[in-house]
């Protein structure tokens, strides 16, 4: 049984072999990148918003993930809020960024990606090409996830862009947006790597945390998502599925969206003769 780390090409070899099965489960798993709004060229909000329009998310999903992901249209992971809330689906238009870049004196972009997932490098290289096509001088480097974890408390070490795939500990919206996108100065232990934040979003999160009806909670977290999207410091690319390869004889699979790379072995059944 293989729980993580296979490329699309690797998976295809198993899908074409009747001895194996490839299972895909919806997961609270995001491919995204943050931009450093505290220093460098992305202090400019208009430039940040334009970057979102230069990313061909459909191309990235097709070339890197295939059936293992879908283009993200919401700032929250799959299933945390109704689809009509916190919508984040920018129009693809590279000309917007290209026109802004013409007036920049500094065009250098330090694009880092976490190397815990081999697919991140391929995505980073596609984004590098897209940024370069718009006139930016983008360089790419990989960093360990442990280094990324420290960035929220070490502003001087932050790159201009950080690409990663990540997941919350639960499917409640607060476990995503507060941990990853609440202002660093307001939340100890935050995983808001580049301090991507909006005071209005912080207020909406706090409102949602104390609301007592489902509708009010969803509306508050939806507003927080809208405020963060307007800030332009995060670009959601794809909702990634959890993929498991196993012998063909196993059935009765059970999967929970926030629990990545895990199997409840006690529930599995093995058909006779397998």
pLDDT tens per residue across span 23-47: 999 999 999 999 999 999 999 999 9
pLDDT of residue 36: 96
Of the pLDDT bands very low, low, confident and very high (cuts 50, 70, 90), residue 137 is very high
pTM of the model: 0.92
* Cβ atoms of 24 and 253 closer than 8 Å: no
Domain that holds residue 193: 28-94+105-240
- 180 inside domain: yes
- 174 inside domain: yes
- 59 inside domain: yes
- 43 inside domain: yes
- 3 inside domain: no
- 44 inside domain: yes
- 267 inside domain: no
Which one-letter DSSP state was computed for residue 241?
A: P
Domains in the chain, number: 1
CATH number of 139's domain: 3.10.105.10
Burial readout 93-125 (b: 16 or more C-beta within 10 A, e: otherwise) = ebebbeebbeeeeeeebbbbbbbbbebbbbbbe
- 226 inside domain: yes
Of the pLDDT bands very low, low, confident and very high (cuts 50, 70, 90), residue 185 is low
Burial readout 249-272 (b: 16 or more C-beta within 10 A, e: otherwise) = ebeeeebebbbbeebeeeeeeeee
* Cβ atoms of 261 and 4 closer than 8 Å: yes
**Average pLDDT estimate for 261-267:** 92
């Amino acid at each position: 049984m293989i729980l993580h780390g296979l490329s699309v090409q690797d998976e295809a070899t198993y899908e074409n072999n009747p001895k194996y099965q490839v299972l895909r489960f919806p997961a609270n798993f995001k491919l995204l990148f943050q931009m450093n709004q505290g220093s460098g060229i992305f202090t400019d909000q208009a430039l940040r918003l334009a970057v979102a329009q230069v990313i061909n998310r459909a191309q990235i999903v097709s070339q890197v993930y295939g059936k293992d992901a879908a283009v993200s249209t919401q700032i929250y992971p799959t299933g945390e809020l109704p689809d009509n809330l916190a919508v984040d689906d920018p129009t693809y238009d590279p000309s917007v960024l290209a026109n802004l870049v013409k007036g920049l004196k500094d065009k250098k972009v330090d694009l880092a990606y976490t190397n815990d997932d081999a697919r991140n490098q391929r995505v980073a290289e596609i984004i590098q090409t897209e940024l370069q096509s718009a006139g930016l001088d983008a360089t790419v480097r990989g960093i360990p996830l442990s280094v990324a974890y420290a960035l929220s408390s070490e502003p001087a070490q932050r790159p201009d862009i950080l690409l990663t795939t990540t997941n919350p500990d639960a499917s409640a919206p607060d476990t995503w947006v507060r941990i990853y996108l609440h202002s660093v100065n307001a939340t100890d232990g935050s995983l808001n790597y580049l301090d991507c934040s909006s005071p209005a979003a912080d207020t909406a999160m706090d409102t949602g945390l104390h609301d007592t009806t489902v509708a009010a909670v969803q509306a508050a977290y939806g507003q927080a998502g809208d405020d963060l999207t307007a800030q332009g410091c995060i670009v959601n690319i794809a909702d990634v599925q959890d993929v498991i390869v196993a012998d063909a004889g196993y059935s009765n699979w059970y999967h929970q969206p926030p629990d990545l790379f895990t199997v409840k072995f006690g529930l599995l059944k093995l058909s006779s003769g397998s």
